[in-house]
Structure 1
Amino acid sequence: MPQDPEAALARLLEVMARLRHPETGCPWDQEQDFPTIAPYTIEEAYEVEEAIASGDPARLLDELGDLLFQVVYHARMAEERGWFAFGEVAGAIADKMIRRHPHVFGEEEARTTDQQNAAWEVQKAAERVARAEGGTLAGIPVGLPALTRAAKLTKRAGRVGFDWPDAASVLDKLEEEAAELRAELKEHAKDADPAALRDEVGDLLFVLANLARKLDLDPEECLRGANRKFVRRFGYIEQYLVSEGKTPADTDLSRMEDLWLAAKRAERRKA
């Protein structure tokens, strides 16, 4: 049943205030601060994405509530420190959206999507200058998922001409990085330097993130899809082995690879 949004938000803010009350609140909530809550905020954002992928409106409603609670949580902790309150958070984002959409809230003419994207980047660049954030790559959060940040870093660099010309060129670079990793493994065999391996694998992942970008794909979404596929196919293996009274631990790799291929064939038949 629809609820009045102002009343519902006021109730949520009161719930948060009571949870954080220094005398009568919840001991766990009283102990939290920005660093301890931040991982939950990130997790909730991903759970919203999963709810969207599920197509379940009830699940999406629940996860959006969890994410909103995270915003309320951070705003409450900021208010306790005298920094700002939830009203300032809501007001600041409303002001920002109005500022970045003069064609909607001002007198500018309507824009195409491409024109809006270009204007958006110009406005964000101006805001970075106002915040004294210098450099082409300034303002790309360090806390982003690494694959997403890799794609954003090179997208930003690409705007000033520092970019691969096409996806084929990125594939060439991927082969080059893979060759360097093979050389590292071959040269050192069993005593490879972990730092060197971490560096080479990082280079591979960085190039893969940019291959996704060049193909207009979100690298995080690609990897989440691959994760879901792995879980689905490995689940098929486990279920089949259960029917034989076995587990993966007492099954050889060759047999599990056969079942993996069977899972792939089953998916193709359903497609």
Structure 2
Amino acid sequence: MNPPQYTVDDLLYLMARLRDPDTGCPWDIKQDYASIAPSTIEEAYEVVDAIEKQDFAHLNEELGDLLFQVIFYTQIGKEEGRFDFASVVSDLVAKLVRRHPHVFPDGTLHSKIDNRHTLPVDVKARWEAIKQQEREAKGKTGLLDDVPLSLPSLTRATKLQKRAASVGFDWDDIQGPIAKVREELIEVEEALAQQDSQAIEEELGDLLFAVVNITRYLKIDAEASLRAANRKFEQRFQYMEQHSARPLAESSMDEMNRLWDAAKKSH
């Protein structure tokens, strides 16, 4: 017997049932925007993790978990009379139509245009101009005003740098950001020599920001790059644990270095 095929309407009904004050789930009833926000971040990362691992068998499930977060917020919004799922979808469609005049020339969902000769650079310029108009309409006139503080630091650094670069505040070539990394590393060493803990922290931040500028300039995702480095370190360290004759805590540094070199050759 095939399992039932549910729809978005069924999901909305389920969420309303979970939040029903009389017959719902006690845990779901207690939640609010802030309490489920950490889960939203976690679910988004699990989607990315499945994609990077090419674990497409589980991507469907992870996308469902992420969608559930949206449904949860919209149910709370509906209960408070602020918004609901329908209004979220409607506003999203309207925004995307507005931001794609090269696809929807009349500003309506079903209008069309022959776009075969539109250059990607033209599309990007229009997109940024429209987004700036939207920021100004919200009273955010500064180019960096709406970059969320809650973004992961590497992602936020990249976004800040991209915004600045969009008005020409950028390096002429890759040698600029590379030289900046060298300069910041020297300043870290100077702060270390002075044993100034506050300066060390500040200079390390500047160094990380400068490294992100290299990834941004080369169009490499800094978060993805660091996640890959984390996975590589994890695999190599696990190799060391598996091939060590004794627990690593009882091994000498020379022994661990030999294991590390062997791990690098195996991965």
Decide: shared fold, TM above 0.5.
yes
Q: Give the Cα separation in 1 of the matches to 2:36 and 2:134.
A: 27
Instruction: Please report how far the alpha carbon of residue 19 of structure 1 lies from its aligned counterpart in structure 2 after TM superposition.
Output: 1.7
The residue that corresponds to 2:46 in the other structure is 47
Secondary structure at 2:7 match in 1? helix
Moved over 3 A (4+): 1-4
Are residues 1:11 and 2:19 paired?
Answer: no
Q: Give the Cα separation in 2 of the matches to 1:31 and 1:252.
A: 52
Q: Give the Cα separation in 2 of the matches to 1:204 and 1:186.
A: 16
Q: Give the Cα separation in 2 of the matches to 1:214 and 1:254.
A: 39
The residue that corresponds to 2:101 in the other structure is 102
Amino acid at match of 2:66: L
Name whichever of 118-127 and 251-260 sits farther off: 251-260
Q: Which has the higher helix share?
A: 1
Are residues 1:122 and 2:125 paired?
Answer: no
Alpha carbons 1:181, 1:200 under 8 Å: kept = yes
Secondary structure at 1:104 match in 2? coil
Instruction: Please report how far the alpha carbon of residue 109 of structure 1 lies from its aligned counterpart in structure 2 after TM superposition.
Output: 4.6
Q: Give the Cα separation in 1 of the matches to 2:101 and 2:179.
A: 43
Cα deviations by residue, 1:60-91 (Å, 9 ceiling, x for unpaired): 00110011011111111111211000111111
Cα deviations by residue, 1:129-148 (Å, 9 ceiling, x for unpaired): 11111112122222111111
Q: Give the Cα separation in 2 of the matches to 1:131 and 1:108.
A: 30
Cα deviations by residue, 1:145-202 (Å, 9 ceiling, x for unpaired): 11111111111111222222222111111111111111111112xxx42x33221111
Instruction: Please report how far the alpha carbon of residue 232 of structure 1 lies from its aligned counterpart in structure 2 after TM superposition.
Output: 0.9
Q: Give the Cα separation in 2 of the matches to 1:63 and 1:49.
A: 9
Amino acid at match of 2:32: D
How many corresponding residue pairs? 258
Instruction: Please report how far the alpha carbon of residue 24 of structure 1 lies from its aligned counterpart in structure 2 after TM superposition.
Output: 2.2
The residue that corresponds to 1:247 in the other structure is 247
Q: Give the Cα separation in 2 of the matches to 1:2 and 1:126.
A: 48
> Aligned match of 2:168 in 161, 172, 187?
161
Secondary structure at 1:105 match in 2? coil
- In structure 2, the gaps of 5 or more residues are 106-111
Name whichever of 7-16 and 176-185 sits farther off: 7-16
Cα deviations by residue, 1:82-137 (Å, 9 ceiling, x for unpaired): 10001111111111111122222335551232221221111111111111111121
Q: Give the Cα separation in 1 of the matches to 2:248 and 2:9.
A: 52
The residue that corresponds to 2:108 in the other structure is none
TM-score (norm 1): 0.89
Instruction: Please report how far the alpha carbon of residue 2 of structure 1 lies from its aligned counterpart in structure 2 after TM superposition.
Output: 10
Are residues 1:205 and 2:208 paired?
Answer: yes
Alpha carbons 1:102, 1:108 under 8 Å: kept = no
Secondary structure at 1:24 match in 2? coil
Relative distance call for 1:198 and 1:80 in structure 2 (3 A) is farther
Are residues 1:230 and 2:233 paired?
Answer: yes
- In structure 1, the gaps of 5 or more residues are none
Amino acid at match of 2:50: A
TM-score (norm 2): 0.91
Cα deviations by residue, 1:45-67 (Å, 9 ceiling, x for unpaired): 11111111122222100110011
The residue that corresponds to 1:256 in the other structure is 256
Q: Give the Cα separation in 2 of the matches to 1:157 and 1:2.
A: 52
